[in-house]
Amino acid sequence: MPDKKKLIVCIEDEPEMIDLVKLILRRADFDFVGAVGGREGLEAVRRFKPDLVLLDLMMPDVDGWDVYRQMKSDRELSSIPVIVITAKAQSIDRVLGLHIAGVDDYITKPFGPHELLASVNNILNAQG
């Protein structure tokens, strides 16, 4: 019996970025849900319980760190891995994300399709 497709939710305030990520992930045979902004993103995560969340940090309504904190404080969502995708490229931001907040990976914009897919596959394969 074939494995079911992995579902990824992308939370991002730029619809063009959601479209780009959707194109990359659908070509790699992932199911995909895009959500514009943190509030809509949290609703999507609660509704779909995805295998992975791609999360932008800088969003106008609810920022990515608030989304991340709310996910990690919810028993039903806390085990969902999160990859931060952000324009915040300074090394201190990366250290805060990976080592202090504990996100699963940290990708800076702009990124290439191979970088995104490598990160997604690494995280999902580590989940089993």
Sign, CA dihedral 18-23-27-28, equals negative
CATH of the domain at 91: 3.40.50.2300
Number of domains in the chain: 1
Is 1 part of a structural domain of the chain? no
pLDDT average, residue stretch 98-115: 84
CA distance 8 to 105: 14
pLDDT tens-digit profile of 33-82? Answer: 999 999 999 999 999 999 999 999 889 889 898 999 999 999 999 999 99
DSSP 8-state secondary structure symbol assigned to residue 104: S
Considering the domain boundaries, does residue 23 fall inside one?
yes
For residue 14, how far is the Cα from the chain centroid? Answer: 14
Specify the pLDDT at position 127. Answer: 81
- Domain for residue 86, yes or no? yes
Its domain, for residue 99, covers: 7-127
